[in-house]
Amino acid sequence: MMRVLICGADGYIGWPLTLQRLSKGDSLVTIDDLSRRALARSLTPISSYADRHKEIERSDVQVIPCSLLACNYTLLQEVFTSNTFDVIVHLAEQPSAPYSMQGVEQSALTQTRNIESTLVLLHLMKTYCPEAHLVKIGTMGEYGTPDAPISEGDISVDFKGGSMEALFPRDPGSWYHLSKVFGTYNIRFACKVWGLRATDIMQGVLYGVRTPEITHESVINRFDYDQCFGTVINRFCAQAVNELPITPYGMGTQKRGFLELQDALQCLDIVMRNPPGAGEHRVINQFHEVHSINDLAQIVKQGAYSLGKRTTVENIRNPRVEQEEHVYAPEHQWLLNHGFKAKYSLREGVRNLLHDIAPYTARTDVSTITPDIHWR
C-alpha cells in the first residue's frame, strides 16, 4: 500500500491510473482542474467529473479540484499538511504540440502553466515531504531525432580536453515539447540542490482506452482525436472507423516509439515501486515498439479491415517542421531491467483500440481532424 498523490487525475493517464491504484489498495489524493475537458471533446462518452467521483467515493480517496498554480499554494499546503505522500505523480500538464503552436497565447499558456505546476510541486515536496518520490511524465519528443542512439540519463560530454556529465542533448520540436524540457531542468535542479528524488519519464506515443478496471461505460477513458489533442495513432483510428483516408504528415518516414495504455500502467507501477535515492534525478525512456508513421498507417488500415471498415492511406503536406528521414535508436533498458514485459504489440493494441472506439463512431466530428495549425 502506498500513499499517492495523482495530479491530473481526470486525464487520459490520470483516470485509469486512479482506478489502478485504488484496485491495488493505495490511499489516494487526486487533483485536477478539468482544463482538458474545456479544450477537447472525447470520442468516448466520458462521465462528468462528479459522476466519476461517485464511482470511486467508496474508497480511500480525496478529490481536490484545483490548478497547480502558485496562486493556489495556500490550499495546496493544506493538502500536504493533512496528508503524507510516498509518491507524487505529476500528470497535470497542458498537453499538445499543435495547441502550443497556434499563437502567442497558447505558447505562453503551455509553457508558463507547465513550468509553474512543476515548481509548485517541487516547493511543496521540499517543505512537506522531501523523502517522497516525484514521478513526472516528459516526452521522447524532448530529444528530437539526433543522429545517434538516445541514452537514458546523463552522458559524458568531452570538449577540448575536459569532460563533463550532462543531460543527453535536447532538441524539442514545439513550444509544448520545450515546456517538457524546462520541467526536466527544473526537476534536475531541485534534486541536486534540495536532495529530492524523481523519476522523469520520457514517454513515447501512448494509445488504447481499456484497462482491467474499466469494466463499464460509466468509467470509460477519454479518447481525443482532433488535430491538437489527438495523437497520430488516435487520429488515424478515428479516420479508419469513419472509413476516411488515413493521412500521415509528409513522407511518413518519421519514426516514433509507441506504448499501449495497460503496458504504460505496468511501467508506472514499476517506477512507483522503485524510487531513486535521495538527490537522484532518474531519467528513463518509456515505450515498447518503434515504427514509422507509414507503418502505423498500414497497421491501422489492416486493423480496420478486420472490423469490416475499408480505408486508404493518403499522405498529406506536413504542417509541422520535423525531420522525416532520420536515425531513431533510443535506449529503454531501465524498465526492461526492472521486470517490464509488454503485453501488447502495436498491431494487437491497435486492433483493440479500433474495437473499443467503433461503437462511438457516430460521435466523430471529422472536421477537427484535418490540420490547419502550421509550424511556419
Binding site for its own copies (CB under 8 A): 69-70, 73, 103-105, 107-109, 111-112, 115-116, 119-120, 123, 146-149, 151, 155, 157-164, 166-173, 175, 178, 181-182, 185-186, 189, 192-194, 321, 327, 329, 375-376
Q: Among residues 18, 139, 145, 364, which one is catalytic?
A: 139
Minimum Å distance from CB 96 to its own copies?
16
Residues 185-190: contacts with CB under 8 Å, at least 24 apart: 186/115, 186/118, 186/119, 186/122, 187/118, 187/122, 187/134, 187/136, 187/281, 188/281, 190/122, 190/125, 190/126
59/77 with CB nearer its own copies: 77
Gap between the terminal Cα atoms of the chain: 49
312 catalytic per annotation: no
194/340 with CB nearer its own copies: 194
Task: List, edge to edge, every strand of the sheet that includes 87-90.
Answer: 61-65, 27-32, 3-7, 87-90, 133-139, 197-203, 281-286
Distance CA 201, CA 218 (A): 30
Minimum Å distance from CB 279 to its own copies?
11
- % helix / strand / coil in the chain, to the nearest 5? 40, 20, 40
Minimum Å distance from CB 75 to its own copies?
13
- Given the C-alpha cell 498500414, which residue does it identify? 298
Q: Among residues 12, 99, 143, 176, which one is catalytic?
A: 176
Minimum Å distance from CB 65 to its own copies?
20
- Do 152 and 332 form a contact (C-beta atoms < 8 A)? yes
12/175 with CB nearer its own copies: 175
Among 17, 126, 13, 11, which residue's Cα sits nearest to residue 61?
A: 17
176 catalytic per annotation: yes
139 catalytic per annotation: yes
- Which residues does residue 256 pair with via DSSP β-bridges, in sequence order? 291
Minimum Å distance from CB 91 to its own copies?
20
C-alpha to C-alpha distances, 196 to 124, 258, 272, 281, 363, nearest whole angstrom? 11, 30, 15, 8, 45
Minimum Å distance from CB 365 to its own copies?
28
Distance CA 228, CA 226 (A): 5
49/182 with CB nearer its own copies: 182
Distance CA 222, CA 38 (A): 13
- Do 57 and 218 form a contact (C-beta atoms < 8 A)? no
190/357 with CB nearer its own copies: 190
Residues taking part in catalysis: 139, 176, 180
